[in-house]
């Protein structure tokens, strides 16, 4: 993190005001991005030099987002309400109404990947590569999930591109996706003590199942935490809850650090069911389960073995070695039997 200079306003040249305010109207065209690439988003020496000598807007105008193919759908949208909008964010999220174009039930959630309003004071990240990577990951994840009929994610209404004009006549393209609006709060805004232990167990079982099911089909969410989970009450019965996963910007279509490397990916048993007993086994600081500690006041590991008891016969030594920390290999193996 740079401390001596604020590269969000280099040489006292401020960014343009955020256009994403209530009432703002804009047109979008359907856009099909490329598949996500396993690229680093570390700032290159050339980009570091530009960062030190060129203001943010000029860098954005010179850096076109990765191209691909336009579709036929055109929409005109109007911002209804901000959800998460501001400078220094990876994406801008707000509700929109569809003013014209093919019919959707509105409002929808629009998620824009605008590098201009990324946090440019970070001195080790290329913001243009980073937002492209998040955009392509998220579009690929939603296509993958909906092609398999996943019901615990928002409806996905496609990916789009829009042009934003600036006062000197130049414009830049910004990518976005449209999603179903779920009118509930994320799990991190809820108080665990407001839910009985049986209800919290039911919620956690849903979360584990929803995270594990795409993983069996080689999609790894990689950011499973309360802030990315929405809990809906389906009716007046408070025990009838539905868990929805959001934010797939970190998701990976594969299980290894480099899914494009077949040899590396094969070591993670692609396409084979891996029991939550292994992937959710609790040890100190282990993700993702450590992010839900406020919701868990029971013997988590014992509960895993109880809920997924039928998985024991499918667990082998190689799986234990791959998915369980070395410090508990023997412990888990003895419990599996």
Where residue 289 falls among pLDDT bands split at 50, 70, 90?
Answer: very high
Task: Enter the DSSP assignment of 66.
Answer: P
Residues 26, 116 share a domain:
yes
Euclidean distance between CA atoms 33 and 315, whole angstroms? 38
111 marked ligand binding residue: yes
Residue 155 in domain: yes
d(Cα 9, Cα 131) in Å, to the nearest integer? Answer: 20
pLDDT band at 3 (very low <50, low <70, confident <90, very high): very low
Residue range 310-319: average pLDDT?
97
Statement to judge: residues 94 and 194 lie in one domain: no
Same domain, 204 and 251: yes
- Residue 265 counted as domain residue: yes
Region 206-212: what's the mean pLDDT? 98
Domain range spanning residue 246? 187-336
108-112-114 Cα angle (round to 5): 165
Residue 17 CA, distance from chain mean position: 26
Query: CB–CB of 336/314 below 8 Å?
Result: no
Does one domain contain both 137 and 220? no
CATH of the domain at 175: 3.30.200.20
Once rounded to an integer, what is the mean pLDDT over residues 44-69?
87
Last residue of a domain, which of 180, 211, 242?
180
In a domain, 2, yes or no: no
By CB atoms closer than 10 A (0-12, 13-18, 19+), residue 168 is: exposed
Name beta bridge partners: 244.
230
pLDDT at 237: 62
Domain count within the chain: 2
- In a domain, residue 215? The reply is yes
- Determine, yes or no, domain membership for 331: yes
Residues 138, 201 share a domain: no
Three-class secondary structure of residue 256 per DSSP? coil
Between CA 74 and CA 102 the distance in angstroms is: 8
Tokens for 178? 């449209």
Same domain assignment for residues 331 and 281: yes
Q: pLDDT value at position 286?
A: 97
Asked if residue 195 and residue 47 are part of one domain, the reply reads no
User: pLDDT-based confidence at 15, cuts 50/70/90?
Assistant: confident
Q: Are residues 168 and 199 in the same domain?
A: no
Res 11: pLDDT: 73
CA dihedral 175, 179, 184, 188 (to 10 degrees): -50
pLDDT in tens, 64-76: 887 778 999 999 9
Q: Which two tokens stand for residue 261?
A: 């490397």
Of the candidates 145, 180, 215, which is a domain's last residue?
Answer: 180
Give yes or no: residues 15 and 162 share one domain: yes
Domain annotation covers residue 81: yes
Verify that 263 and 127 share a domain, yes or no. Answer: no
Q: Which of 161, 180, 199 is the last residue of a domain?
A: 180
| 111, β-bridge pairs | 93, 177
Q: Does a cis peptide bond (omega within 30 degrees of 0) precede residue 288?
A: yes
Task: Say whether both 216 and 292 belong to one domain.
Answer: yes
Helix/strand/coil percentages in the chain, nearest 5? 35, 25, 40
- What tokens appear for 18 in the block? 């955020």
Residues 120 and 154 occupy one common structural domain: yes
103 belongs to a structural domain: yes
Query: In 3D, which of 171, 160, 124, 175 has the Cα closest to residue 16?
Result: 171
């Amino acid at each position: 993190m740079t401390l001596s200079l604020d590269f969000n306003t280099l040489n006292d040249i401020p960014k343009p005001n955020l256009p994403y305010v209530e009432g703002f109207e804009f047109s979008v065209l359907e856009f099909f991005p490329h598949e996500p690439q396993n690229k680093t988003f570390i700032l290159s020496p050339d980009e570091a030099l530009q960062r030190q000598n060129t203001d943010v807007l000029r860098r954005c105008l010179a850096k076109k987002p990765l191209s691909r193919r336009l579709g036929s759908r055109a929409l005109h949208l109007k911002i209804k309400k901000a959800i998460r909008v501001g400078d220094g964010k990876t994406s801008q999220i707000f509700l929109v109404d569809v003013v014209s174009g093919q019919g959707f039930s509105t409002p929808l959630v629009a998620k824009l990947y605008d590098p201009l309003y990324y946090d440019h004071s970070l001195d080790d990240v290329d913001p243009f590569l980073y937002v492209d990577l998040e955009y392509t990951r998220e579009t690929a994840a939603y296509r993958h999930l909906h092609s398999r009929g996943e019901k615990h994610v928002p409806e996905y209404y496609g990916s789009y591109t829009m042009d934003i004009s600036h006062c000197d006549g130049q414009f830049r393209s910004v990518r976005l996706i449209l999603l179903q609006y779920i009118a509930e709060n994320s799990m991190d805004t809820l108080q665990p003590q407001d839910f009985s232990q049986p209800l919290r167990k039911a919620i956690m079982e849903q979360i584990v199942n929803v995270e594990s099911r795409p993983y069996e089909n080689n999609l790894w969410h990689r950011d499973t935490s309360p802030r990315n989970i929405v809990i809906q009450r389906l009716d007046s019965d408070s025990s009838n809850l539905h868990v929805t996963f959001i934010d797939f910007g970190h998701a990976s279509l594969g299980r290894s650090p480099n899914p494009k490397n077949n040899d590396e990916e094969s070591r993670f048993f692609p396409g084979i069911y891996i029991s939550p007993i292994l992937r959710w086994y609790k040890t100190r600081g282990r993700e993702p389960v450590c992010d839900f500690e406020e919701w868990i006041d029971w013997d988590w590991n014992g509960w895993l073995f109880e809920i997924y008891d039928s998985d024991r016969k499918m667990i082998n030594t190689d799986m234990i070695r791959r998915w369980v920390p070395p410090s508990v290999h023997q412990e888990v193996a003895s419990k599996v039997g």
